[in-house]
Amino acid sequence: MRVMKTFLPFLALCLFYGCAAPQKYAFYQYTELEGVKSKTLDRLKWENSVQPGEDISKALILEMDNASSHLIQIRGSEKRHSHDLHDLTVILQSGRGRMFMGNSSVSVGPGAVIFIPRGLAHYFVNGSAEPASAIAIYSPAFDGKDVVDRE
C-alpha cells in the first residue's frame, strides 16, 4: 500500500509530462532517385528561418502537378490578401494567433487546419513570441504570382 501511495503520484507526473511533451513533426517524400526522404519541422524551420527585420519566410517544400506545399513562418502578421486562382489549406504547426478570413476571424493554435477557397481575402496575425509556422498547400501548384492585395 505504501508503495502504491509513492508510485501513483510519480505515474501521474509521467503521464502528464508525456501528454504535455511537444509533438515532433516529420515530413516524408518519395522520389524516384532516392526513395523515401524525410526532414523534421525543426530542420525545415532552421533552413528557412525568418531573417532579422522580416515578418515572413516562405519556402517551397514540394511541387507536384496539381499542388504545392510550402513552409510559411510569420513573426508579425501578413497583409490582407487573396489568391484568385488557388485554393489553400493551411496546417498550423507551431505558435498561436488569429486567422482572419473574409469578415470573420478565429483563434488558432498547433494542429489547426484552415481551408481558404480561392478569392477569399485572408491574413494571419501571430500571437506568439516566436514565429508561427505552418504548412500551406496550394491547388493548383503555386508559382508565387497569385497574391492580390486586399487592403
> Which three-class secondary structure string do you get for the chain?
CHHHHHHHHHHHHHHHHHHHCCCCCEEEEEECCCEEEEEEHHHHHHHCCCCCCCCEEEEEEEECCCCEEEEEEECCECCCEECCCCEEEEEEEECCEEEEECCEEEEECCCCEEEECCCCCEEEEECCCCCEEEEEEEECCCCCCCCEECC
Q: In the chain, how many domains are there? A: 1
Mean pLDDT of 93-101: 96
pLDDT in tens, 68-80: 999 999 999 999 9
Q: Is residue 7 part of a domain?
A: no
Model confidence at 52: pLDDT above 70: yes
Report yes or no on 51 lying in a domain.
yes
Q: What is the pLDDT of residues 13-51, one digit of tens each?
A: 455 555 555 567 777 877 788 888 888 888 888 888 888
Q: What's the CATH number where 136 sits? A: 2.60.120.10
Verdict on whether the full-model pTM lies above 0.75: yes
